[in-house]
Structure 1
């Protein structure tokens, strides 16, 4: 089961995570920039200390000596936070002054044309060391000066600068977080209001959702919901109209059935009951036919996803259906013929519904055609797959052609006891298959041609 996600949480995460990331990156960059500048500042101080020592190096009687009074040594080493160590070494004489444990550069290829800085450790503490090479006046002897200092002042200054930079940033992040939470909550309030308004509606209230206080970004959602409500309203209205029409159509044969039953009950012998029984059988047949057509019409309702249209051989289907209807045509001495290719002609469709479509066309042609008339069913492949049904009956008047596909509509004065659903079913099935339906009158005398054009599979 998928865990539902909160839109508010999603928005906050998408806003807060980048903010925290950029603050973190900026803090890391600030650390290294601060470290660099602190090192530069204190390296200069360290270099000044080394240069002050070089002033105490003298040459006397051709010999390099270091004159460093105790008072000067106290001033050099005095510091509240750090310890300072030094070492002065002559290339020829060796150790001249200072602490012999002061580190020296390890690289034998050190460039001594400028001061050398490096980090090391002394007496278990990390130190920063500067080393420089000098050649005293009136002497060719090389003298190395090494000054080391612990890192307490550097660390303290770096922490002071970082805190001065980070504290305002943390306060900014906190304030921004509070603002984001409040802002997102207020921003989503119209959605909650909209949800509450929809939840309070009754199941029959399909009015469009008002969009006066809806954000532009939410307008797409409300438009989609309103479109769905409109289509749902049309579907419900269609269903209600269908139920009302079906009830009206069923009422007539039921009333006739009831009258004939009452008539049969009044008779005493079987021969007198026979006319009533024949009428009962006719009413039952009409009810059965009407019920079958109502079920087909309900099944052919164009609801998305109900049908998976598959390739169907239109020639084979039409030929088999015509063979099934030959006996009924012969009852009226009518000739039913089929014209089509022996090769398969495939269309995408529902085989059962296509059979019902052709069956309704043939039923209409037989019921409303002339005795000893002709009915022709054709299947053509050019320019697109097409099913054609022609008859030589009285035909449909031009003024009625726009109405005959409506449900329960019958042409005034038409013979037979149909219920006006045959062509409505044909239209519904054609629409389901996205096929084009055309109705033509063959001549002024009569005749009807119905063409159904399918799309290529």
Structure 2
């Protein structure tokens, strides 16, 4: 499975962080441990120099059993560290002279006597000690060696503290590095999200070059291809629209003439039932063909109007429904249908004639195809009002047409919005363009189109929610 660019960048960021943070912890731990060890070793050597200044330097070595040191020497040892410290003074031949007998056998590798202070680890009775050796002068300026041994509890505590600090710094590095890289990735991909939204909302029939402001130069070849593709798609779409509009326009005149001739023939026809039936069927076919041509022409005009600047106007949905009522109430009465209205003011922005055609298609569909199967009277209700949330000003306008007919099954409600789709077993002989026109006009007005069950789960309710026009 191919990963998205964002996922790849995040994966790379996590991998880089996982590599850098442990390395940072190791480096910080080594640096902290080295610093604390060096400081402790230097302090031990400084203590040795201070002790060398006050230790009694005899002309001859005292007996081997003599363990002591001066009181000043002991006070200096206790003031340096709470840890146990041993000391011993040896001559140039490594013979013990005075100090603690316990460490007289401890010795660091290297030449003897040492030319400079040195230190290292040594073992005493299974315990690790830190041993320092530094050259001093004694016995008529003869070289001697002062050895100091110290327990390592404080050094271990310093190592643990260094580890604690290194882990905290590593965690801080992970948070800052990971968070910073994620923020950089989000900031870098923001123009791509804007580009995606721009392409998703761009109509095919009115393409403009992609806005490249803020986009990386590496995308220019891809965007050039997108611009060329959309230009070709727009040209093809425009050719199809012109063909449909021209064909529909050319058909209107002969279809109108055919319908007129059929009506005149019906008036002058003899009382021959067979001939009269043929003329009636001819007249109905002419009416259907004329309506199809009108719908195709309306579709072409709707598509052409999208994206045209200056075509929108502020109008009241209630006035549009009033105009439709004058046209459709008489037709509803002829069909013995109850066409009712519930109207409130709702100002929207768009093209009033297109919304009028939208409403005409919905009422026509209800009259033609929504007759209840049980023979009860057909009821059609048109609602128009402004919608407002509780305690907030209205921001949307509702236009709704509801009937008590057989409705449309939920699984077909997406398909009926496609052009020329007719549900199997649907009554009448329509072209399947009515709801497609409604969908296109709704999209042109940025309205949400919802098909749902009517009141009580019976019939069909077609709901359109328009953005409310801003107050003037």
Name the TM-score class by shorter chain.
0.3 to 0.5
Give TM-score scaled by structure 2 length.
0.43
TM-score (norm 1): 0.44
